[in-house]
Amino acid sequence: MLAGKRALVTGCRRGIGRGIAVKLAEYGADLILNDLTIAESDEVVAAVRNLGRKALCISADIANPDSVAAMFAAIKQECGGLDIMVNNAGITADAMSYKMTIEQWNQVMAVNLTGTFLCCQAASKLMMEQKSGKIINTSSAAAFMGNIGQANYSATKGAVASLTKTLAKELAGKGICVNAVSPGFIQTPMTDKIPAEVKEQMIARIPLRRMGQPEDVANVVVFLASPLADFVTGQTIQINGGSYMV
């Protein structure tokens, strides 16, 4: 379904990003694999290549405009363009709002919001040249439900959903669809930090009674990246086992 498509996934050395990269490769896409540092020896690289797809590794900090510019220059030179942009990289720096430092606030804004914007901007410039493309951003259930200790994180993820709507309107006439996924509680290194008893309480509040897996998110990303979603733009799709219903 995605044969010959060139897909960039940020923050894909592990977790949801790894799951998305491998799933896109399963459906035929060639991958540009980004993380802060990603090496030929990383497992995700072998996983993509074992599926018979190309994997180009680019280490870059998405929060740094110069790094992003260099990454997209390399994509243009090596791949000639870009068909699918998945803005997955994201971080947390949790604290109660009244104890949160300005550094914690700025750090999360820089990666989750500014980094997503910079990659959307650079990807859209490449996609406008070819008059087609799919951009998929990553919001979070925390944006819609709120989450104690995550004032910075939830604010960035709400902003990503808003950004997605504006970009969808700006880019619709250029042949580019922009959507977002909004994962709930997904099993990754980010959530592995949560104590087991807290996890059990969280799972008890999920109607489908389990944590999500990276593959649950990846399946929706593949749909949004595919021609099946050609009439879908500006949407944020909730993937949360029913814990938050729009």
By CB under 6 A, the residues from 128 to 167 that bind ligand NAP are 138, 140
Work out which of 2, 6, 8, 13 binds ligand NAP, going by CB under 6 A: 13
Give CA torsion, residues 200, 205, 210, 212, to 10 deg: -110
**Extended beta strands in the chain, E state:** 6-9, 30-35, 55-59, 84-86, 133-138, 176-183, 236-239
Q: Mark whether 27 is an active-site residue.
A: no
Between 61 and 83, CB nearer to ligand NAP: 61
Work out which of 24, 31, 35, 168 binds ligand NAP, going by CB under 6 A: 35
Chain-centre distance of CA 237, in angstroms? 12
110 and 63 Cβ atoms separated by less than 8 Å: yes
CA dist list (Å): 160 to 11, 30, 127, 182, 187: 16, 26, 20, 10, 22
DSSP label at residue 231: T
By CB under 6 A, the residues from 53 to 72 that bind ligand NAP are 61-63
- Structure-block tokens of residue 208: 């489908």
| Minimum CB–partner distance for residue 3 and ligand NAP (Å) | 26
Work out which of 100, 190, 202, 232 binds ligand NAP, going by CB under 6 A: 190
Work out which of 6, 7, 68, 88 binds ligand NAP, going by CB under 6 A: 88
Does residue 7 bind ligand NAP (CB under 6 A)? no
Single out the segment in contact with ligand NAP by CB under 6 A; choices: 44-52, 84-92, 120-128, 226-234.
84-92
Query: How many C-beta atoms lie closer than 10 Å to residue 39's C-beta?
Result: 11
Does residue 124 bind ligand NAP (CB under 6 A)? no
| Minimum CB–partner distance for residue 138 and ligand NAP (Å) | 4
Query: How many C-beta atoms lie closer than 10 Å to residue 116's C-beta?
Result: 30
Pairing of strands 6-9, 176-183: unpaired
Between 3 and 196, CB nearer to ligand NAP: 196
Q: Which residues are catalytic?
A: 153
Residue ranges that bind ligand NAP, judged by CB under 6 A: 10-11, 13-17, 34-36, 61-63, 88-91, 111, 115, 138, 140, 183, 185-186, 188-191
